[in-house]
Amino acid sequence: MKTAQRLDLLQTENAFEVLAEVKKLTAAGRDIVSFAIGEPDFDTPENIKQAGIDAIKENQTHYSPAGGLPELRASIAAHYSLTRGIKVAPNHVVVTPGAKPIILYSLLACVDPGDEVIYPNPGFPIYQSLIGFLGARTVPVPVREINGQFTIDPEELKSLITDKTKMIIINSPHNPTGGVLQQEVLAAVAEIAIKNNLWILSDEIYSRIIYQDKFYSIASLPGMQERTIILDGFSKTYAMTGWRIGFGVMNDELAHWVTRIQINNESCVATFTQFAAKEAIAGSQAGSEEIIREFAVRKDLIVSELSQIPGVKCPVPKGAFYVYPNVTEVCKRMGLRNSKELQQALLHEGNVAVLPGTAFGPKNDDQEYIRLSFATSQANILEGIRRMKRILA
């Protein structure tokens, strides 16, 4: 039996491929320290778990409205009105099973086959995968290391705009680099979007996990709320990856169509997880604040340890829970062609799992990078870097 040709366009998330390899090695008796997966190692805070348990006991196990429970949408709207300085109403919010569906639904609702979508490179692999899968043209905008920080160049972005451009995807704080787009960069992107009548999909899933400066949303800039789709969720900030709940914030007309797509796809999000999410965003923030404080400690620890390895240059991340060190000199010294070969050497010779930079898109230049997630314990960080030093020093 033949499958659809479009399946050839569908890619995957490389972190899960490395995770499968790690699990295979672990099952064979190997002790692997993994920096590969972007999942908080914390448990969901107790108040959030209890809200979910209470909802199940109260038989909140039936369908909810397709766009989400009214009380959850109201809580999200209130939070965004406060934190972004814009007026967000409940009908601007669509609750989805995880945040990834907002990428798919936004593309389905706003982009036709043959249109062009600009996305960050390196970047979350699902952007490129879904753009191509839906028949649009993928147009990467380079994310480069400039003065020790990762960002995009607005002039380079401007040069990529054509009469077929329909959407720009931005991600800040950024996976995989931990970079944060500064206000002047966002203002330049906003000017480009307004001038060319473009949609912006702003992936803000890590917006609460920030260490330096201040987080800015492009939706807060004049003229941008109507054309911006904010992607966010509960997985990272509240350690709720397995609960599968996220949301999008967008104009009410687009929210109507995104909700209709959701009706056609999965009807609604599990009701009891929505009650847990309401507690997450509107209840005590003590648990999430503790998680973020620990991430800040781990960030300093992993940067310090990596910087002790000869040839490793590790920019300090401003947000998220990733470091993206430059390992070009290490690869040259070891006679390795690229970061993929380095990743394999670390895994099979050092029992340490990292991701090569090419897991997040093709190289922009001749520099080699690897990504390490510090969503793991301080003890694992120390042990993992100790093993890396043994292989790389």
Q: What is the pLDDT of residues 59-74, one digit of tens each?
A: 999 999 999 999 999 9
Domain 47-282 has CATH 3.40.640.10: yes
Going from the C-alpha of 336 to that of each of 102, 256, 343, 362, the distances in angstroms are 39, 51, 10, 17
Percentage of the chain exceeding pLDDT 70: 100
Residue 242 pLDDT grade (very low, low, confident, very high; cuts 50, 70, 90): very high
Going from the C-alpha of 189 to that of each of 118, 126, 197, 201, 364, the distances in angstroms are 12, 22, 12, 12, 20
Cα gap 198→195, rounded to integer Å: 8
State yes or no: pLDDT of 33 exceeds 90: yes
What tokens were used for 137?
A: 């043209």
Q: What mean pLDDT is predicted for residues 232-248?
A: 96
Going from the C-alpha of 56 to that of each of 51, 98, 289, the distances in angstroms are 9, 19, 26
Q: What mean pLDDT is predicted for residues 32-54?
A: 94
State yes or no: pLDDT of 374 exceeds 90: yes
Nearest to 142 by CA among 374, 372, 369, 375: 369
Whether the Cβ atoms of residue 117 and residue 196 lie closer than 8 Å to each other: no
Percentage of the chain exceeding pLDDT 90: 88
Residue 3 pLDDT grade (very low, low, confident, very high; cuts 50, 70, 90): confident
Cα gap 285→150, rounded to integer Å: 29
Residue 54 pLDDT grade (very low, low, confident, very high; cuts 50, 70, 90): very high
Q: What mean pLDDT is predicted for residues 322-336?
A: 95
Average pLDDT, whole number, for the chain?
A: 95
Give the global pTM: 0.94
Hunting for tokens 């929210």 — which residue is that?
255
Q: What is the pLDDT of residue 214?
A: 85
Q: Are strands 165-171 and 149-151 parallel, antiparallel or unpaired?
A: unpaired
Residue 9 pLDDT grade (very low, low, confident, very high; cuts 50, 70, 90): confident
Nearest to 23 by CA among 343, 346, 353, 243: 353
Q: What is the pLDDT of residue 19?
A: 78
Q: What mean pLDDT is predicted for residues 142-154?
A: 93
pLDDT, tens only, 331-367: 999 999 999 999 999 999 999 999 999 999 999 999 9
Q: What mean pLDDT is predicted for residues 17-45?
A: 88
Superfamily of domain 5-43+287-392: Aspartate Aminotransferase, domain 1 (3.90.1150.10)
Phi-psi region of 362 (alpha: psi -120 to 50; beta: other; left: phi over 0): beta
Cα gap 57→60, rounded to integer Å: 7
Residue 1 pLDDT grade (very low, low, confident, very high; cuts 50, 70, 90): confident
Q: Where are the beta strands (DSSP E) in the chain?
A: 33-34, 93-96, 116-121, 137-142, 144-146, 149-151, 165-171, 199-203, 228-233, 246-249, 322-323, 352-353, 355-356, 370-373
State yes or no: pLDDT of 286 exceeds 90: yes
Q: Which residue has the higher pLDDT, 24 or 297?
A: 297
State yes or no: pLDDT of 21 exceeds 90: no
Residue 17 pLDDT grade (very low, low, confident, very high; cuts 50, 70, 90): confident
Q: What is the pLDDT of residue 28?
A: 86
- Residue spans of the domains in the chain: they are 5-43+287-392, 47-282
Q: What is the pLDDT of residue 152?
A: 97
Q: Are strands 199-203 and 322-323 parallel, antiparallel or unpaired?
A: unpaired
Listed range (26-35, 202-211, 227-236, 332-341) with the worst mean pLDDT = 26-35
Q: What mean pLDDT is predicted for residues 171-194?
A: 97
How many other C-beta atoms can be found within 10 angstroms of the C-beta atom of residue 286?
A: 11
Q: What is the pLDDT of residue 15?
A: 73
Q: What mean pLDDT is predicted for residues 239-253?
A: 96
